Amino acid sequence: MELEALNEEKHILIERLGVHIEKKDNIPPLAARILSTLILTGKNGCTFDELVNNLQASKSTVSTHLTNLQHLKKITYYTVCGDRKKYFIMNPKSMILSMGEMLDTWEKEKHLHIAIMNYKEKINHIEPENADQHFDLEFHLDYLNYLEQASDSIKRIRERLLEKHKQ
């Protein structure tokens, strides 16, 4: 009975996580469910047939998404000697790559906010008589502070993952 309840919980989590990944990464629903399944399956991975059966999707659609996810470096596979199946798993470096992309995006946002803030400061300086219409720069300062703190946290986590991956 306990295993049955865990399987039901896994099914619900696959759907919830799938919706999250779908929106976050802007990928098709089935691709997101494949990723969710692999995340919740762990190092054992899933075979092509298991994915087709568990996700109740056509072979061609699952095959297409597996190819695309491999191309995006989100997943990889391993084989077992004497077994003709591929076992799909999450790419161990996927999280590290994703964090790198996140840091790059935040760095670009930071520079953009600094440029906008500098422009607004110049406008405020040029028109001192209209102080009630000046740009409020507090948002930019708060957002830049947030980006700095979030970036530092992600960098620390990424470094730990890189160290762990080297071992």
> Residue 22 above 90 pLDDT?
yes
pTM check: above 0.85: no
One domain for residues 53 and 124: no
| Residue where a domain stops, chosen among 34, 69, 90 | 90
Q: At what angle do helices 2-25 and 29-41 cross, to 10 degrees?
A: 130
39-89 confidence digits (pLDDT tens): 999 889 999 999 999 999 999 999 999 999 999 999 999 999 998 999 999
* Structural domain boundaries enclosing 17: 2-90
One domain for residues 79 and 98: no
Tell me the β-bridge partners of 46.
88
Q: CATH number of the domain that 59 lies in?
A: 1.10.10.10
Query: Identity (one letter) of the amino acid at 3?
Result: L
CA angle 163–93–85, rounded 5-degree value: 125
| Residue where a domain stops, chosen among 42, 60, 90 | 90
| Residue where a domain stops, chosen among 90, 118, 146 | 90
Q: Are 50 and 74 in contact (CB under 8 A)?
A: no
